[in-house]
Amino acid sequence: MHVRFFAALLIASSAFSQQPNATSYSGLHWRLIGPFRAGRVTSVAGVAGDPGTFYFGTPGGGIWKTTDAGRVWKPVFDAEHVASIGAVAVAPSDGNIVYAGTGEQIAGKGVYRSNDGGQSWVSLGLKETHFISGLLIDPRNPDVVLVAANGDRRPGPNRGIYKTTDGGRTWKQVLIPDERSGAMDISFSLDNPKVVYAAFWRAGPGSFGQQSEAAKEQNGFLYKSEDEGDNWKPVGTEGCRRGRGGGWGLGRRPAMAAGGFTA
**Residues 220 and 246: beta-carbon distance below 8 Å:** yes
Q: Give me the torsion for CA of 102, 108, 113, 118, rounded to 10°.
A: -70
pLDDT band of 38, cuts 50, 70, 90: low
- Residue 54: is its pLDDT beyond 80? yes
Mean of the per-residue pLDDT values of the chain: 82
Whether 214 shows a pLDDT value over 70: the answer reads no
Per-residue confidence band for 205, with pLDDT thresholds at 50, 70 and 90: very low
Beta pairing, strands 122-123 & 132-137: unpaired
Contact in structure between 60 and 89 (CB atoms under 8 Å): no
Higher pLDDT, 250 or 55: 55
Quote the pLDDT of residue 37.
66
Residue 50 has pLDDT above 60, yes or no: yes
The answer for residues whose C-beta is within 8 angstroms of residue 89's C-beta and 6 or more apart is: 43, 45, 98, 99, 135, 136, 137, 145
Helices first, then strands: H and E counts in the chain: 1, 18
C-alpha dist (Å) from residue 102 to 4, 82, 91: 25, 7, 17
Contacts of 251 (CB under 8 A, 6+ apart): 187, 257, 258, 260
Under 8 Å between Cβ of 211 and 244: yes
pLDDT of residue 26: 76
Q: CATH assignment of 14-21+36-262? A: 2.130.10.10
Give the Cα separation of 157 and 135 in Å (integer): 19
Quote the pTM value. 0.81
pLDDT(259) > 60 = no
Domain edges within the chain: 14-21+36-262
Mean pLDDT of 35-45: 81
- The per-residue pLDDT for 103 is 96
